[in-house]
Amino acid sequence: MGFELREIHKHFGAVRANDGVNLSVASGELHGLLGENGAGKSTLMKVLSGFHQKTSGEILVEGEPVELRTPADAMQHGIGMLHQDPLVFLPFTVLDNFIIGSPGPERVNRREAARELATLAERFGFNFDPDTPTRRLTVGERQQLEILRLLWLGARVLILDEPTTGISAPQRIKLFATLRELAADGMSVVFVSHKLEEVEELCERVTIIRAGAVVGERDLPCPAAELVELMFGGEVEVGERPIVGLGPPRLVVSGLGVQDRLASVEDFDLEVAEGEVIGLAGLEGSGQRIVLDALSGLRRAQTGTIQAGGRDLTKTGYRGYLAAGVQFLPAGRLEEGLVAGLTLTEHFVLAARSDSFRIDWDSAREEAGRDIVDHFIKGTPESTAESLSGGNQQRLLLAMLQDNLSVLLMEHPTRGLDIESAAWVWEQLLLRREDGTAIVFASADLDELLEYSDRILVFFNGSVLAEVNARTSSVDELGHLIGGKVSR
């Protein structure tokens, strides 16, 4: 089922997120929508899927004009969207999430729905227990579940917004195979991304958006340099990583034992020197996150000791870790790092952690304005956190970090960021490294781990399977270790 967008404008106050966009996708086409963070890709697709109402313009489905005021309207016209964070209810079971939004009578025949789920899952090689709580699924499995739900609801146009963010390499391969099969069956697929290599691998045609407007359309394959030029208006330069001499230990962990409902880690040891970068690799749920939680004071360790900044922090809470110069940047920017509804000014005031009971809001807005400029944030002091793109939310989090950190902990620091934004983030992080900050970060991007780490710890089933030298290791070696295979 094909569709067309004509002169789509979407404004948020003075911000022109989409500025006269034209786009057409034919039935059975795998179409890429490419652009840097904040270019307007997600906004445009939310207009098409009914999550946002257009300011002006026209949407045609199968040549007929339609008005899409809600996601339900879009679904009635066969348009479904898989968001970067799948829209699932974590406490509900797999089957409960599958039947949410189903048309028809108020009471759904659960036995029939379970059969439909099993049939669809078998078709694409997915494996689900309908009674499993959705929170136990990986991000990739939640995506698979959401795709099956959209198909069951009748989607003939499938929009995927940055779908490879946070999923493993095998899950990405399975996702691409599924999308190719759907397109072969006549479905229109729009693949929204900033990753050139994935768009080139999957799509037949690509539209490039910059600053809310279409700047080009190309058939694929197409020279990567040409696509980069269209995305960013020029070449993207990535600076070389400077060599930094390591100093005394900044973080010393001995015999750490920590657990949550889904994972546990025992007898974890780690020593990180001043200026050293440690990467944590492994499949989701292998233990990296709960270790980061423990090292930042967000989770109490059952056993072992943690020393940072010259202090024993083992029995200290989160505030004690902050006082010792230990700070954590979570992967869930809006869910964990920022507060929806609060302005950028209010975030900077909170991050300052002043002891005063009075706030000079005029000075706070001026200071916020300077921080926004210094960190190239596309927003104003009055912008809310949720109004920013993912890349700008990460810039805000970096701007909120305290000075002179002893240890910086991070989870997926460049998840969902384009080449330019990711390079800028690491430029800021390496400046802190030069100042002596010890950095520990978890990432699913093997190239990122190899490029920026000194050492990489590979987690498997709650323990460190191996420690490798990032300068001598390879993506292939890391991939085998993450899968639990140790070379003899």
* Structure tokens belonging to residue 239: 């600076």
Position 486 scores a pLDDT of: 67
Strand (E) or helix (H) holding 121: helix 110-124
Q: Which of 404, 375, 407 is nearest to 391 (CA)?
A: 375
153-176 pLDDT per residue, tens = 899 999 998 888 767 677 788 889
* Structure tokens belonging to residue 73: 């309207």
Q: Is the pLDDT of residue 488 over 70?
A: no
Position 235 scores a pLDDT of: 64
Strand (E) or helix (H) holding 392: helix 390-400
**Is the whole model's pTM more than 0.75, yes or no?**
no
Helix 390-400, helix 361-374: angle, nearest 10: 120
Across 254-276, average pLDDT: 90
402-420 pLDDT per residue, tens = 988 999 999 999 887 877 8
Position 209 scores a pLDDT of: 94
355-400 pLDDT per residue, tens = 778 899 999 999 999 999 999 998 899 999 988 888 889 999 999 9
* Structure tokens belonging to residue 212: 């809310």
**Is the bond leading into 221 cis (omega within 30 degrees of zero)?**
yes
C-alpha–C-alpha distance, residues 150 and 437, integer Å: 46
102-149 pLDDT per residue, tens = 766 567 788 888 999 999 999 888 889 999 988 888 777 888 899 999
Q: In the β-sheet with 15-25, what is the strand arrangement from edge to edge? A: 15-25, 3-12, 56-61, 64-66
What b/e readout covers 112-143, taking b as 16+ CB neighbours within 10 angstroms?
Answer: ebbebbeebbeebebebebeebbeebebbbbb
Q: Is the pLDDT of residue 354 over 60?
A: yes
Confidence of residue 298 (pLDDT cuts 50, 70, 90): very high
Q: Is the pLDDT of residue 183 over 70?
A: yes
Helix, strand, coil percent content, the chain, rounded in steps of 5:
35, 25, 40
Q: Is 208 helix (H, G, I), strand (E, B) or coil?
A: strand
% of the chain exceeding 90 in pLDDT: 57
C-alpha–C-alpha distance, residues 407 and 270, integer Å: 13
CA terminus-to-terminus distance, the chain: 52
Q: Is the pLDDT of residue 238 over 80?
A: no
Position 106 scores a pLDDT of: 65
Q: Domains plus CATH for the chain? A: 3-232 (3.40.50.300), 249-482 (3.40.50.300)
**Helices marked H in 261-335:** 288-295, 318-323
Amino acid identity, position 353:
R
Q: Which of 160, 116, 113, 121 is nearest to 137 (CA)?
A: 121
Q: Is the pLDDT of residue 428 over 80?
A: yes
